[in-house]
Amino acid sequence: MKQISFEDSREADLIVDAQYLSGRVGNLSDEVISKIMSVGTQGGFRPRGRNESKDFCVLVTSMEDKLWPDSIDIYSGMFTYYGDNKTPGNEIHEKDGNKILKYAFEQLHLGNLENVFPFFVFKQLRNSYRDVQFLGIAVPGHPNINSKSDLVAEWGLENGERFQNYKAIFSILDVPTISREWLQSLIESDEKIDLRPEAYDQFLKNGKYNLLKIDRPSLEIKSKEDQIPERDSDLEIIKTIKEFYTGREADFEVCAVELFKYYSHYPTQENVTKISGDGGKDAEGVIKFGKPIDAIDIDYALEAKCYGIDNVCSSKEVSRLISRIRQKMVGVFVTTSYVNPNTLKEVKEDNHPVIFITSADIVDILKEHEKNTVFKVKEWLENLDYSVRN
C-alpha cells in the first residue's frame, strides 16, 4: 500500500486508499490532515470556506463508533456518515457538522448542483500515531437511494435521554487520484475548473453519479453477525415487530410482503394472489421490473418467518420455498432473525433465485422509508391491510 511521508504530505496528490503518515513528535503538531487540506486539526467535519457553500469539506471517520457506525460499501460506492450531534443536550442543527449536511443535501434536492461542494473522506488508522487513509471524493446522495432517505434524522439514547442525529448517504466518485494543483486551487478559493476531476464535473453538470465501485464476489456469504442489527435501537425495532405478531405470527406474512415492496425499488402489484399461513407458500405476487411503458412482470413466491433474533432459519425452511419456485420465478425469504450461513452458501452455489431479507436488512429497509423509531414502526404495522390474507 502506498504511503506518503509527513514531510511530503503538504505537496502530495490525494490517492485513493493511500496512507498519509503523521508526524512523530507526540503532540497535535503531528496531525496530518490539516497539512494536506489546510483545515482544522480536530473533529469529524473540517470545512474550508466561510460561506454556507463551502469550498470543500473534509470528513474524518474511524469507522469504529458502534452507536453511529460510519461505513463504506465498496461494491456500490455508497458511503454512510453520521452527523456530529452524538450526545444529548442539543437540537440536531446546533452542531456545525449537521448544518453542513443539511445545506449540502438541501442544495442537492433543489437541483442547485452548482452549490454542492466536494467532500474528501479520510479514515483514521488504528495505530498510536495520527496516520490516515484517503477513501475518496464524495458527493451527497446515491443513485440507489431516494431523496427522502439519503439524509434522515435518527434517534439515539444515552443515559435515558433521547436525541437526534443525521445519517447521511454519500456517493464515492470514480476518481482514483486528485491532483495537488486542483486541490490547491480549492484551498485558495479559486478553483481551476479545467483541472476538475471528470466524475465530479459530470455530477455538477448533470447530476450523474460515476461511482467508484468494484464487482461483488460471486460467493459473498453473510455471517450471523452480518445478518443481525448491531445497535440496541435497531434491535428494539426487530423486537417490536416480533412482539407485535406474537400469537398471530401468520399475519407477519403481510408485513413481509410490504418489506419486499420497499426492498425491490420497483412497483409491485398490490393484489397478492395468495397469502395462506397454512403451510404452503406464504405469499405470491408480481413485481413489475423496468419502466411502465415496457415493464416485465416477474412472479415471486415469498416465505415469512417471524422468529426471535437468535432463532436460526435452517436449510429445511429455505428448501420448502425453493421447492415451490416455478420456472421464471424468484423466491423471497423474509425473517426477523437470520439464515444459517451454510444454507446461504448452498443456495448461492446451486444458483437458486432466492432473495434473503434478514433482520438487519429489515431495519435498513424501514429506515430508508422514514420508519426509524419504535413508535413509527409500530404505527406502520398497525395500519397494514391484513384483510388480504385468505
Task: Please choose, from the candidates 317, 289, 305, the residue with its C-alpha nearest in 3D space to the C-alpha of residue 256.
Answer: 305
73 phi and psi, to 5 degrees? -105, 105
The neighbour count for residue 221, using CB atoms within 10 Å, is: 15
CATH architecture of 3-206: Roll (2.30)
CA dihedral 299, 276, 249, 254 (to 10 degrees): 40
Query: What pLDDT, on the 0 to 100 scale, is given for residue 294?
Result: 63
CA distance linking residue 359 with residue 362, whole number of Å:
5
Query: What pLDDT, on the 0 to 100 scale, is given for residue 66?
Result: 80
CA distance linking residue 313 with residue 8, whole number of Å:
54
pTM flag (> 0.75): no
Average pLDDT of span 371-376: 91
Query: What pLDDT, on the 0 to 100 scale, is given for residue 218?
Result: 62
Average pLDDT of span 153-160: 88
| Predicted confidence band of residue 47 (pLDDT cuts 50, 70, 90) | very high
| Predicted confidence band of residue 280 (pLDDT cuts 50, 70, 90) | very low
Q: What angle do CA 197, 202, 204 make, to 5 degrees?
A: 95
- Domain segments of the chain as ranges: 3-206, 224-388
- Residues 221-268 have pLDDT tens digits of 889 999 999 889 899 999 999 999 999 888 999 999 899 888 876 555
Residues 6+ apart with CB under 8 A from 69: 63, 80, 82, 230, 231
Average pLDDT of span 191-203: 96
| Predicted confidence band of residue 217 (pLDDT cuts 50, 70, 90) | low
List the single range of 11-20, 132-141, 364-373 with lowest mean pLDDT.
364-373
pLDDT at 95 over 50: yes
3-state SS assignment for residue 8: coil
For residue 28, what is its C-alpha cell?
Answer: 497535535
Q: Which CATH class is domain 224-388?
A: alpha beta
Give the Å distances, CA to CA, from 119 to 100, 171, 211: 11, 10, 14
Query: Between these two residues, 336 and 277, which has the higher pLDDT value?
Result: 336
Q: Please, which residues bridge with residue 312 across strands?
A: 338
Query: What pLDDT, on the 0 to 100 scale, is given for residue 369?
Result: 85
| Predicted confidence band of residue 175 (pLDDT cuts 50, 70, 90) | very high
